[in-house]
Structure 1
Amino acid sequence: MTEVAVGSLLVATPALVDPNFADTVVLLLDVNDEGCLGVVLNRPSPVLVAEVLADWRDIVGEPEVLFRGGPVNPEGALAVGRLADISDVPVGFRTVFGDLGVVDLDTPLELVDGSLAGLRIFAGYAGWGIGQVQREIATGHWYVVPSVVSDVFRLDLTDLWRDVLRRQPGEIAWLSTRPLDPDLN
């Protein structure tokens, strides 16, 4: 298993039944002495970005919807972007790891346009206080695994949870084949 760190993924185990996080994949964007912050990658909403952040409609990638980033501050928005050129970091972009970063949605579009190879906007985020995520991992609610950039921007999110598990070594990969309802097995 991977250490809880910026850029790693938290993958919900079958034991995690909280409706906010069941079968989710969370990208960690900030890990520090105060806790962790991330966004749920596989919860697209039916709301188009054009309906709530019209200026950003031409910059977001497909699907052009808001994603439910987590239960904390769901009326707020957080954007994750991928640089088109790692040597060309625009104003308003805070690198998180590699060519991925958080984009300040108050940045004038002309300063960002053309610099990004991908952008997703999340309504809300997932947050944990000091030691909270470590306790949840210890109680069997999360797997901590390495991320792949394509996880963040893939078009079809239906099987993201299964695909992330499938590429892990050992017994964790076996869970990718579990039925949605184990009682039907």
Structure 2
Amino acid sequence: MTMLTPKKGRLLIAEPSILNDDSFKRTIVLLTEHSESSSVGFILNRPLQYVLEDLIPDIECKFTIYQGGPVEQDNLYFIHRIPHLLTDSIEVANGIYWGGNFKALKVLLKDDLIKPTDIRFFLGYSGWGSTQLQSELNTNSWFISENDFNNIFTEDEEGIWKNKLLQKGGEYKIWANAPADIQMN
């Protein structure tokens, strides 16, 4: 089996061995940008207790906000599947786009023209400097997977990490069923 390399649109799956890293323990990160100088992504399976109208009161919208990562946690980001409605979007891969015209987004949300299965909002992002991600891959903090989800916006946040470990197989099957707090075992 060939090892995948980081690439825009691929997933970073947190290795079970990074149990002490509260920022990334049991996470899946969608890479939205990857180059020699940096990598950027968003954690897909960390819903927060906020909804969009908590952060933007003039929009009555109950879409869940997710923790995107430890960088710039006071900024709101979004990925979506509706580039035809949001100009200035950047294609990530496989019909997933990052960002776009925020004024247009606000109007679309106010008019109920976007479904939660088309968009996901994040506070903060995950970022790595030029050699940082490769260093973390070399120390087995992550493994890389293709984004083979039909729609990442409808995946079960609770089971997404476990399912990727089961899919990888081998010793990962044991970790997939381990409790979140290993001391509870």
* Short-chain TM bin: 0.7 to 0.9
Going from structure 1 to structure 2, the CA distance change for 1:184 and 1:114 (only over 3 Å counts) comes to: closer
Q: Which amino acid aligns with 2:98?
A: V
Give distance in 2, aligned partners of 1:149 and 1:82.
13
AA aligned to 2:71 is V
Q: Equivalences for 1:129-168 in 2 at 5 Å?
A: 129-150=129-150, 152-154=152-154, 156-168=156-168
Q: When you count strand as a share of all residues, which structure comes out higher?
A: 1
Within 5 Å, give how 1:75-90 maps onto structure 2: 75-83=74-82, 88=84, 90=86
| Runs (4+) off by over 6 Å | none
Structure 1 runs not aligned, ≥5 long: none
Shift of 1:111: 7.3
Q: Aligned partners of 1:7, 1:56: CA distance in 2, in Å?
A: 29
Amino acid at match of 1:42: N
Aligned to 1:6: 8
Counterparts of 2:95 and 2:81, CA distance in 1: 6
Looking at structure 2, the residues matched to 28 and 96 of structure 1 have their Cα atoms a distance apart, in angstroms, of 8
- Counterpart of 1:95 (choices 91, 97, 111) is 91
- Cα RMSD for the two superposed structures: 2.6
Pair 1:57–1:21, CA change in 2 (3 A): farther
What is the rounded CA distance, in whole Å, between the counterparts of 2:114 and 2:52 in structure 1?
19
Percent identical residues: 27
Q: Which residue of 2 aligns with 1:18?
A: 21
Q: How many residues align?
A: 178
What TM-score do the two structures reach when normalised by structure 1? 0.82
Cα separation, 2, equivalents of 1:149 and 1:177 = 21
The counterpart of 1:36, out of the listed 22, 39, 42, is: 39
Alignment partner of 2:133: what SS?
helix
Change (3 A) 1:95 1:34: same
What is the TM-score of this pair, normalised by structure 2? 0.82
Q: 1:53 to 1:127 in 2, by over 3 A?
A: same
